[in-house]
Amino acid sequence: SAGWQIGQDLFSDVAWLNSLKLRASYGEVGNTSVAPYQTAGRLTRRVYSFGGNNAFGFGLNEIPNPELNWEVSKTFDMGIDFDFANGRIAGSLDWYRTNTEDILLERFLPPTSGYESVLQKHWIDKKHRSGTRLECRISRNQ
């Protein structure tokens, strides 16, 4: 993160402006959202025919996918903090954008595949969120 007290540097001669600060930040956070051993494929009980008799055993229910890694959300935020009229009016205005990549998705497979599902990265789309936030504080007595 970084900030600049622009009010002190560029507007120091403006009497009614107490503080004006520009700031920006960037961060990345991971989300596992995967249960332990889920990438190894889950087992399920199966019935096999062996020599004309049914035999019980276990088989893979999901296709293993050891290549999976964490989902990653990258957030960029920038804003301005202000304080003027001798502290009677203060607040901040923010804008942010979050991009989430490597989204994990459980895809169900047709029964003819011999598997129920596979956990994989969702390559088709990335999730983007953005927004603004305004906070304002007004005080009558200062």
pLDDT band at 121 (very low <50, low <70, confident <90, very high): low
Q: Residue 118 pairs with which residues in a beta bridge? A: 63, 107
Residue pLDDT, tens place only, 8-49: 788 778 788 888 899 999 999 987 666 666 667 777 788 888
**Structural domain boundaries of the chain?**
2-30+42-138
Concatenated DSSP letters for 124-138? S--EEEEEEEEEEEE
pTM of the predicted model as reported, rounded to 2 decimal places: 0.62
Q: What is the pLDDT of residue 130?
A: 94
The better pLDDT of the pair 124, 40 is held by 40
Q: What is the mean pLDDT of residues 100-122?
A: 72
Contacts for 8-13 with beta carbons within 8 Å, 24 or more apart? none
SS3 state at 92: strand
